[in-house]
């Protein structure tokens, strides 16, 4: 998965000098579906049709790409000097730092901008100015296989020690992956951050300075290496080789006792008939005080002008109805207060409520740092080595900290 989420006057020469008053806005968006039947193209087609019926002088041209391709497609458009008016992708900070984006305050009406969940709005800032609009979000919970837990006589763990003890019991039962630890390159940064948070650490400190090799983080990965991986409790595939998609598929096949998961795992497991439970992530001494939050982003490029029309369309995109529709279509969390309140109060959304409850205290990646892309790539490549048989948590985290420091100094 991811994610991610009008002013008066006519700009950019539109409607001036006797030409046509029609404006075409180009939007590039990511596909959250896993087949043609549930492609995000269907969502955007329906939404655009409703908007254009009320705004006959504005046309919205939407191109939907897979997550594998969408960031590259947008980058190529920007590099060619022909950026879209709007892009809904995975990161915004580089474009903001280059001065290519509108400030959110110059686009959205005040009520719409104020409706964003506060921690998501803050994550959309570069130098205290918001450029990224959260589009979709999710949090993480610990999933467990209820059938396997019953057979092993277990209750869901609340602490690391309880998680390790449960993993040992599941190992004795012959479970292939007592705890699945996907530190492979697909999404190692997520599993890593979830564990760092549960150990009272994280990627950065209170001043937003990278602290990857902090004492708490080294202790967390030393525990993982010694108490889970070293005791064979993470399954037959080395964590550094195990991707999230493989771990999710193994859980859906009934081969995993426990793993961290986001809302889409509910559907994946449900389709395979796996009876699962979900609890907050265990921490050192009890339930983890915070969890990983993830957001995908909408941004508006200033190259083509049309600020008023872009802002008016995005006001429509972020209406309570449209945010709820998208969130429900793809088992994601709303990025606005109004839609979050509606979801929390709706019986229709009871399955998502445990994730929604985690969102206010969730912590996001440091996406406002333009150095994050470099650091993220390094984590994906290196972090699995920290728990390898001959690996050194202190050495690997120290190397990642050095990478982060160099990336920050290069900005």
Mean pLDDT of 263-285: 94
Write the burial class of residue 109 (CB in 10 Å: 0-12 exposed, 13-18 middle, 19+ buried): middle
Q: Is the pLDDT of residue 66 over 70?
A: yes
pLDDT number for residue 35: 75
pLDDT in tens, 353-374: 999 998 888 999 998 888 888 9
User: What predicted TM-score, i.e. pTM, was given to this entire model?
Assistant: 0.84
Distance of CA 136 to the CA centre of its chain: 8
Q: In what order do the strands lie in the sheet with 141-145?
A: 177-179, 256-261, 141-145, 276-279
Confirm if 141 and 260 have CB atoms less than 8 A apart. Answer: yes
Q: How far apart are CA 213 and CA 233, in angstroms?
A: 25
pLDDT in tens, 187-202: 899 999 999 999 999 9
Closest listed residue to residue 249, CA positions, set 162, 362, 240, 237: 237
Half-sphere exposure of 137 (CA within 13 A, CB side): 35
pLDDT number for residue 208: 82
Average pLDDT, the chain: 91
Q: How far apart are CA 167 and CA 181, in angstroms?
A: 12
pLDDT number for residue 125: 92
What one-character-per-residue DSSP string does 369-411 give? STTHHHHHHHHHHHGGGGGSTT--HHHHHHHHHHHHHHHHHH-
Task: Return the ∠ at Cα 184 (arms to 182 and 187), rounded to 5°.
Answer: 75
Q: Give SS3 for 256.
A: strand
- Of the pLDDT bands very low, low, confident and very high (cuts 50, 70, 90), residue 207 is confident
Element holding 299 (H helix, E strand):
strand 292-300
- Of the pLDDT bands very low, low, confident and very high (cuts 50, 70, 90), residue 411 is low
Q: State the sign of the Cα–Cα–Cα–Cα dihedral 344, 135, 377, 247.
A: positive
Confirm if 367 and 2 have CB atoms less than 8 A apart. Answer: no
Confirm if 115 and 318 have CB atoms less than 8 A apart. Answer: yes
Confirm if 244 and 175 have CB atoms less than 8 A apart. Answer: no
pLDDT number for residue 11: 30
Mean pLDDT of 69-73: 90
- Of the pLDDT bands very low, low, confident and very high (cuts 50, 70, 90), residue 385 is very high
Closest listed residue to residue 348, CA positions, set 366, 365, 375, 329: 329
Confirm if 221 and 386 have CB atoms less than 8 A apart. Answer: yes
Confirm if 250 and 180 have CB atoms less than 8 A apart. Answer: yes
Q: Name the token pair of 383.
A: 């972090």
Q: How far is CA 72 from CA 30, 76, 78, 136, 160, in A?
A: 11, 6, 10, 20, 39
Write the burial class of residue 141 (CB in 10 Å: 0-12 exposed, 13-18 middle, 19+ buried): buried
Q: What count of other Cβ atoms lies within 10 Å of the Cβ of residue 189?
A: 22
pLDDT number for residue 99: 95
Closest listed residue to residue 381, CA positions, set 396, 401, 395, 369: 396
């Amino acid at each position: 998965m991811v994610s991610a989420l009008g002013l008066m006057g006519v700009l950019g020469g539109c409607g001036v000098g006797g030409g046509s008053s029609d404006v075409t806005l180009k939007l590039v968006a990511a596909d959250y579906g896993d087949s043609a039947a549930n492609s995000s193209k269907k969502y955007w087609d329906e939404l655009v049709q409703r908007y254009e019926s009320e705004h006959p002088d504005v046309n919205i041209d939407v191109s939907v790409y897979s997550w594998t391709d969408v960031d590259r497609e947008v980058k190529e458009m920007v590099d060619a000097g022909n950026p879209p008016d709007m892009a809904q992708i995975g990161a915004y900070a580089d474009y903001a730092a280059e001065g290519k984006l509108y400030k959110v305050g110059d686009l959205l009406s005040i009520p719409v901008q104020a409706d964003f969940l506060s921690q998501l709005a803050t994550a959309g800032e570069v130098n205290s100015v918001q450029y990224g609009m959260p589009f979709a979000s999710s949090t993480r919970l610990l999933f467990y296989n209820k059938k396997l837990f019953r057979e092993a006589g277990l209750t869901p763990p609340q602490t690391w020690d309880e998680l390790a003890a449960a993993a040992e019991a599941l190992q004795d039962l012959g479970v292939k992956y007592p705890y699945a630890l996907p530190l492979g390159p697909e999404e190692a940064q997520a599993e890593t951050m979830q564990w760092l948070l549960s150990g009272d650490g994280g990627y950065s400190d209170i001043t937003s300075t990278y602290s990857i090799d902090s004492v708490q983080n080294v202790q967390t990965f030393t525990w993982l290496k010694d108490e889970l991986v070293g005791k064979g409790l993470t399954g037959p595939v080395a964590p550094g080789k195990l991707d999230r998609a493989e771990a999710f598929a193994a859980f859906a096949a009934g081969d995993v006792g426990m793993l961290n998961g986001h809302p889409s795992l509910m559907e994946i497991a449900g389709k395979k008939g796996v009876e699962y439970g979900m609890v907050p992530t265990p921490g050192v001494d009890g339930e983890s005080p915070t969890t990983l939050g993830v957001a995908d982003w909408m941004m508006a490029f200033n190259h083509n002008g049309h600020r008023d029309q872009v802002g008016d369309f995005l006001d429509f995109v972020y209406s309570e109805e449209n945010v709820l529709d998208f969130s429900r279509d793809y088992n994601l969390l709303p990025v606005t207060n109004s839609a979050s309140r509606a979801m929390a109060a709706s019986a229709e959304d009871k399955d998502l409520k445990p994730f929604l409850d985690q969102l206010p205290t969730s912590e996001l990646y440091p996406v406002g740092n333009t150095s994050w892309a470099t650091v993220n790539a390094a984590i994906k490549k290196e972090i699995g080595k920290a728990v390898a048989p001959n690996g050194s948590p202190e050495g690997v985290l120290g190397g990642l900290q050095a990478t982060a420091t160099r990336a920050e100094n290069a900005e």
